[in-house]
Structure 1
Amino acid sequence: MESCDDGKDGGSENLMPKALSPGVASGGAKFVDEVLNGQDECCLDNFRMDKNVFYKLCHVLQSRGLLRHTNRIKIEEQLAIFLFIIGHNLRTRAVQELFRYSGETISRHFNNVLNAITAISLDFFHPPGSDVPQEVLGNPKFYPYFKDCVGAVDCIQFPVMVAVDEQGPFRNKNGLLMQNVLAACSFDLKFHYVLAGWEGSASELRVLHSALTRRNNLQVPEGRYYLVDTKYANLPGFLSPYQDVPYHLNGLPGDHHPQDEKELFNQRHSLLRNATNRSFGALKARFPILTSTPPYPLQTQVKLVVAACAIHNFIHREKPDDWLFRTFEHGDVIQMDEVLPSVEVEQPMLFENQDLDFPFVTEDLEMFVQLRDSVATEMWNDYINDDLSGI
């Protein structure tokens, strides 16, 4: 096992977990003790959070009566097994060799912790507040135009394993087996809401319809909205870009300038909507098991996504300057342009979901079309008045 006592802190240069040599520690308890008594970086590398956050999560799970010490394995070790698996994308056999327990013991505690976190996951997801997000308020490119925006909504697809006779609906347009996950994200990388388990062939609009009409539904504060792309259409509470309008993300001096209000609106809308990419990026970097095909029953795979997002939010609450959040927090134009293509074209939404019964009336739909136009016009007028000084 690589030494934990190397004096480093958990910086952004350490995105990938360090490989550990199985079998060096004499047992799981000793391994966990070495990690928790070592440098913070060692806990970050192995359990994907620092020691204080780890202990706080143990306390929450114990105080809620969801986990308890057993004769052989303390709660700290149970949580460590779970986090080590999802944080290193390891199979049970590899974890057996390190923790020195049987496969049955590893699997049992993995599922116990997963069920415990899932049981209180709603406690870790909170709707947006009433204040204007600082990421909007502090940026003249976004304020006051998006002052009523609370975040962004998008779907991401994670690999999934299902029985042969169930594979059809889970195959996406590329023929890959995927589950569709919808998330509402804040601009500071928190998840407001997560809906996992939809088939990979389901359209984003259909998944959004499910999120809005189910019992534990996605709620948008009155008078506020989330940013979405054109796959969702322009709906009350969800502001989308203009369709069929190309735009350039590089708006720096000497580069292409927007030609009209629609192109400018789409450009700034895309830069702000990038919050979902950054949130999912931090999630996948912390828990790479989500990027593979976990060898678990489908329901367990769905729970894994929800649990990972819940832990993500718990870490953000306890340590918002966590190294992975620092890595993915930057949302300014220059840094986002470095990772995004220079030219984007919003693809028209395919209206294969016209049969969906959204809880909106015609007047509300028309109001959001007018809202987008008014925001785009105000943004363009200010842009022109500034003599094309940059966006």
Structure 2
Amino acid sequence: MEDIDLELDEMELVAAAAGYYYYSCLTKQPSRCLSPRRCEFVSEVLNGHDDYCREMLRMDKHVFHKLCDILRQRAMLRDTAESRFRNKKGILSQNVLAACTFDLQFIFIYPGWEGSVTDSHVLRAVLDNPDQNFPQIPEGKYYLVDSGYLNTGGFIAPFEGVRYQQYEFRGANQLPRNAKELFNHRHCFLRNAILRSFNVLKARFPILKLAPQYSFQIQRDIVIAGCVLHNFIRREERNEWLFDSVGAAPVDEPSDPDDLPDVQFLSSMQEQFAYSLRDSIAAAMWDDFLNKWDEW
């Protein structure tokens, strides 16, 4: 019994020592920043210990971020070039506006916008500039866009606050319960083409997933060149291996509650017409679904 008690005491000491080391060393946050450059200093303060942020900025981190947002909106604060290219996840990126066919071929590509810019802002800039040669929309036809855009002439977004992703229609709840859900399900199924196109593009050219050490103009040209080659391969070889593997699978796009459309994009009359059009399309779909479809 004494030997067993001794072994238990030794094990308890080892466990206590390991626990002390973990909580005192491994879980520590840096409490001081040493970078002499102002941008690095602020970055380390915001990524460092909460107490140090309060000491240096005299406020909590989330309060500081809110203050910066308000100052930006009032044009009293301008981001540096690098910070403008950081997306909402803090990753350096560029915003690429693209349109594709249901055949997974790109018909328009416009890279080069800062990662922090909203999708609807990029689209508005393209539509306001005839030199961009955005493909004309035939009457009665529409581009399917995600919830980061508003409904306007030629562009239809899904209903907000209604299930949308394909995985939400699996299992016991697979049947749509109303016109809005049916519309969103079909909208997602068709708009999946752009997600699959980008998946194939990035699988073929992994450099598009990185931030290569090239000038920004070259990085922009890499995106354009990749899309051109993507289209050429698609036309020349219909059963190409990447399209059959990566491009054939449906993609569930994670929803982003912060990805809100630009509310200044539409006038009230345009907005009313666009929403009425979407409602009428959804109602026609629902009527057809109830009266003519034998199975889901």
Match of 2:70 in 1: none
Match of 1:205 in 2: 120
2:102 is the alignment partner of 1:187: yes
Q: 1:248 to 1:308 in 2, by over 3 A?
A: closer
> TM-score when scaled to structure 1?
0.50
Structure 2 SS opposite 1:265 = helix
Q: Percent identity of the aligned residues?
A: 41
Q: Is contact 2:120-2:262 (8 Å) kept?
A: no
2:217 is the alignment partner of 1:307: no
Question: 1:369 Cα shift?
Answer: 1.9
Match of 1:297 in 2: 215
Q: 1:348 to 1:179 in 2, by over 3 A?
A: closer
The answer to which structure has the higher helix fraction is 2
Match of 1:241 in 2: 158
Q: Distance in 1 between matches of 2:158 and 2:149?
A: 10
1:340 to 252, 262, 267: 252
> TM-score when scaled to structure 2?
0.65
Give the gaps of 5 or more residues in structure 2. Answer: 1-78
Match of 2:66 in 1: none
Structure 2 SS opposite 1:182 = strand
1:279-294 pair list within 5 angstroms = 279-294=197-212
Q: Is contact 2:144-2:191 (8 Å) kept?
A: yes
2:182 is the alignment partner of 1:261: no
| 1:340 aligned partner, one-letter code | D
Q: 1:348 to 1:379 in 2, by over 3 A?
A: farther
Q: 1:287 to 1:346 in 2, by over 3 A?
A: closer
Larger Rg: 2
Q: Is contact 1:245-1:346 (8 Å) kept?
A: no
More RCO (CA 8 Å, sep 6+): 1
Q: Is contact 2:93-2:211 (8 Å) kept?
A: no
| 2:89 aligned partner, one-letter code | N
Q: 1:389 to 1:206 in 2, by over 3 A?
A: same
Q: Is contact 1:245-1:345 (8 Å) kept?
A: no
Offset from partner CA, 1:330-377 (integer Å, 9 cap, x none): 3xxxx52xx537xx86848635552x5x7xx76554333222111111
Question: 1:176 Cα shift?
Answer: 1.1
Q: Distance in 2 between matches of 1:194 and 1:302?
A: 11
Match of 2:273 in 1: 367
2:143 is the alignment partner of 1:226: yes
Match of 2:82 in 1: 167
Instruction: Supply the RMSD in Å over aligned alpha carbons.
Output: 2.7
Q: Is contact 2:159-2:180 (8 Å) kept?
A: yes
Q: Distance in 2 between matches of 1:267 and 1:217?
A: 31
Q: 1:258 to 1:345 in 2, by over 3 A?
A: farther
Q: 1:364 to 1:252 in 2, by over 3 A?
A: same
Q: Distance in 2 between matches of 1:308 and 1:345?
A: 27
1:178 to 77, 86, 93: 93
| 1:366 aligned partner, one-letter code | Q
Q: Distance in 1 between matches of 2:159 and 2:80?
A: 40
Q: Distance in 2 between matches of 1:253 and 1:353?
A: 36
Q: 1:176 to 1:247 in 2, by over 3 A?
A: closer
Question: 1:235 Cα shift?
Answer: 1.2
Question: 1:279 Cα shift?
Answer: 0.3
